[in-house]
A and B are shown apart, each in its own frame.
Chain A
Amino acid sequence: MQAMQAWVAHRIGFWPIITLLVFLTLIALLLMPVVNIIGMSLSSKDPNSSVIANYVEFFSRRFYYQTLINSVQVSVAATFFAVLFGVPAAYFATRYEIFGRSFVRAAVVLTFVSPPFIGSYSWVVLFGRSGIVTQTLADIGINLPSIYGAPGIVLVFTLQFFPFVFLMVSSGLKSIDQSVEDAARNLGSSELRTFFTVLLPLLIPSISAGALLVFVAAFTDIGTPIIIGERFRVLPVLVFGEFVNEFGGRPILASTLAVLLLTVTTSALLLQRWYAARHAYGTSAIRPLLVMEQTPLKRILASVYVLLLVGLALLPVINIVISSFLKANGPLLIAEFTMENYERVWRTIGTPLSNTLYYTTVATAMCAVVGTAVGYIIVRRPGRLGGWLDGVVMFSYAVPGIVLAVGLVVTYNEPPLILTGTSAILILAFFIRRLPFSVRSSVSMLQQLSRDTEDASINLGAGPGRTFLRITVPLLSMAILSGVLLTWSNTIRELSATLILQSGNTVTLSIEIFNEVVNGNFGIASALGTVLILLTFLPLVILFAFLGKKEEALV
């Protein structure tokens, strides 16, 4: 009898119930939407057509399939350039005593967190047909190549997303032990040779992880191609087009496109995992790579390279902040200081700002609570369900915001549960989008926390609940707080999913900026953009300055 009781108490505890709830949430918000778009993409209004009719249509009409080719082209190109420029920059910034080191760190973070679509418009303002730089140079007889179309998109993506590679490689370099490099040098290998034969191979997991992030971000971005792409059409924009179609969207087509997007991102993720696993040597540094003594020439050259790169990437952000204080005449800016933009923004910012803060805060809180619990289940209670949970969370990495948005719309646009157009659908989308990141950070912090500490508490007579609250949570509180700040910064500037999910009442700051940009009101867009950049950057300042986190935490 006593044994029976103990058995029951053991089985139906606090954690199994939490596990079940989390599972149901993930099924409702992630798996069902994905399954539904797949189902929808295989359906048709015409009962006689084959199940793959939509795909046949896609691949037989150039108007459609060209967008896939275009998307792959610009994303691959952007990934290539981001790696090409990002890896050396990370190497120099980590290993050389470059000038302006703190500026470089701040600039990388700022670039990283500035909303990409404002960046693209900034480039148009500077280098577009009637751009400031273009005009100035044209006056003295220099004609710049066009910024519109594929080259512009690749340029913006490269500069916007190279921080992924930079940050990944920086943290990768920190996990290599100095003795490995010393050994190579001792055996007569030059610095360059050592870099290519020793460091680069060890960095493959980091580089490929960074490259994957660049690729996926570029492949699923809507804002930049709309603003700078002109007639160069990419797949995500086509999805978006199908949703805001004036004659009513075509959810079947949109679903088909979304499945294609998902297929590409999932394949990219699997490819990267496979490739990185083959090149993972599980290095950990007892004495990480040191800053090298350099000849002044090398030091200057390296500094110039890094500063030029981050300076260029930061240019749009600087442009936005400056422009926000300039008088605007539609898309044209006049070199005259004014607070007019902010005054106008002040009158209209109310709803979008409060929406943004509300959605971001709720989604962030949900991520913190659910993410910590899921992480705990995966690390500390790995049963059959825990393994599944791990798998589902892994998969959700590969689901782009835009695909999730399409899935949520097709799942929750009819009874019994209609969520389309509500605040809830935006909050839930933000929550699910960031959940894998929260889980990942709570998993890694729990793995660092020795299980013995919790066992010691149990051993001293505290039950599982008391132990979780008194020992686990306090020990993780700093990590949870940094997770919250990161989630906040990443959620507040979300555009792709929001574009599809928002309705008139649920407009957010990023949507507002996007609309102003599309309507050519760059002055207002800049003022709003500056506000958004501040809201994104402030939590990160807290994170880096007070919580002692490094920029690498961003990726």
Chain B
Amino acid sequence: MTNSIAEVEDAECIFVIGSNTTSSHPLVATRIFRAKEKGAKLIVADPREVHIAKLADLHVQHNLGTDVALLNGIMHVILERNWHDRSFIEERTEGFDDFKRVIDRYPPDKVAEITGVSPEDILRIAEYYASAGTASILYCMGITQHTTGVDNVKSLANLAMLTGNVGKESTGVNPLRGQNNVQGACDMGGLPNVYPGYQPVNMLDSQKKFESAWNATLSDRVGLTIPDMLSGLMDGSLKALYVIGENPLMSDPDSHHVEKALKGAELLVVQDIFMTPTAELAHVVLPGASFAEKDGTFTNTERRVLRVRKAIEPVGESRTDWEIIQDISNRLGYAMDYDGPEEIMKEIAAVTPSYGGISYDRLEGPGLQWPCPDPEHPGTKFLHKDGFARGKGLFHAIEYQEPAEVVDEEYPLWMTTGRVHVHYHTGTMTRNSPSLHAEMPEGYLEMNHRDAARLGICQGDLVSVTSRRGTINVKTQITERVREGVVFMPFHFVESSANVLTNPAYDPVVKIPEYKVCAVRVEKAA
């Protein structure tokens, strides 16, 4: 997030797009409730009537994958009505003219045709957002999990810059990171192109810096992303895969393809706390420890580094993950001799500028928000206060593009996927929690009553759902939450795993799969 969770409650306008906040980020949703009580306007744009939409001053259900068009339409109105922040644009941004030329091509009637949102509603969103003294955008995977994921995010940044809602309290463009430590895994260099602190692997300076810090010769070739590693296993260029705490067989799109790829590995090592479907395919399974059995830190969605503390010993013979990695490294001949996570954090602080001032001593209280470059620095509540990292904020001129897969005669329904409040990701943890499992023991398909009537399907009927990649069986829930022509499935359930169906089409830049849109056919199961 550019801003902090607590700031949300003081925003005058909150624009939630592609986030089922009450299910996926309940304690951010709490701040939205408080903001509403203080009189904030709440706009929700989501193809489903997610719970937070019921509280909204305005909820629009745009067609799947039409976010860029919707946002361009909103910005068209803002420009047309002169609601933009001229001085902010002049002083703090560049690229405005090219951007404006594209926006001119998105008048509300045209946008209404693409998105299914009426010109009146587009006008109201523009008015609420642009007229607020402070407006905050919250988004989640409904924005990013598209072939146009990067375009979607850039469009949100355009909207915030256009109205000067950046670099101040209670504003900003705020991604709600789905997994507890996805922010930290990125910060720590768990990415193919960067070392810790986003220092590029193919820049000589950073390569030299890490070569001397780690006393090793390092490669300057950018590595493979997950989808590329999976294709590498298919074509034989990748032979060994070491998976820690992930379950790609269920979490990645097109499970049948993933299974084939994983089976092609000469060596598949899976380090996890449960026997996941991915671990079933492994040559070696190493039992790691859960968060309650180790010391360390997580970095939450507002960049806050927080302590994790060991409460009990690792169960059975399981071991903490850092010890396992250290032991394997020593066996490979690269010596590691850490006596614990605190010592690792010291090394992190030494090589990662944004974590430079972070140490366990300083994390005893409420944690610290990076950037925190030195031991005296208090941490950073919101970013871009005195300007953008690159100097000026850049407007991007972005045209709308259709999703990679669209409905046709054979696959006439749009399908989208997401989470539910009691479960998490592939269900490995929550389905092993009796209280959570009891709340929702099985998966389901949400379908509009009109589609159901047409197909002769009743509430609770078992149906088969087929996409170009596979078929699964699941029970139906007939509902108004989705519009006619759209179905929704959570992806937590292995027996009816939504990712058998999803489309492995990726955003060309960051390789996010298009989980949020594919075309399916639904039939009553035999």
- Do A and B interact with each other, yes or no? no
A-side residues, CB < 8 A to B, are: none
